[in-house]
Amino acid sequence: MKKKFEVQVRTKGTDTKPSVVIGTIRRVLVGEQVGNFNPVFCTYQGQRYLVKSTEGDMSDPFRRDETYLKTLYIEVKK
């Protein structure tokens, strides 16, 4: 069984309006290799979203560490 992580679901923010947390989901994260980067995705309501972290850039496997897993989120349009 694959491990599920808690991911916050947020509305997409702008420069003047920050994103708002609308819920939390538990999902299996899937990474894909794109050159030197490894972006992480999860599904929400049948669509695939890029998983981000408030700690830093998730797509760079050489910089991310375990603390990034505590602050995962996705941005959805509402």
What pLDDT, on the 0 to 100 scale, is given for residue 48? Answer: 96
By the 8 A CB rule, do 42 and 29 touch? yes
Structural domain count, the chain: 1
By the 8 A CB rule, do 39 and 29 touch? no
Containing structural domain, residue 60: 4-76
Q: What's the Cα-to-Cα distance from 63 to each of 23, 25, 29, 36, 58, rounded to whole Å? A: 27, 25, 18, 12, 8
pTM above 0.75, yes or no: yes
Q: What's the Cα-to-Cα distance from 65 to each of 61, 70, 77, 78, rounded to whole Å? A: 8, 10, 28, 31
Q: Nearest-5° angle of CA 66, CA 59, CA 19?
A: 85
Mean pLDDT, consecutive 10-residue stretches, the chain (78 aa), reads 93 86 96 88 96 87 86 91
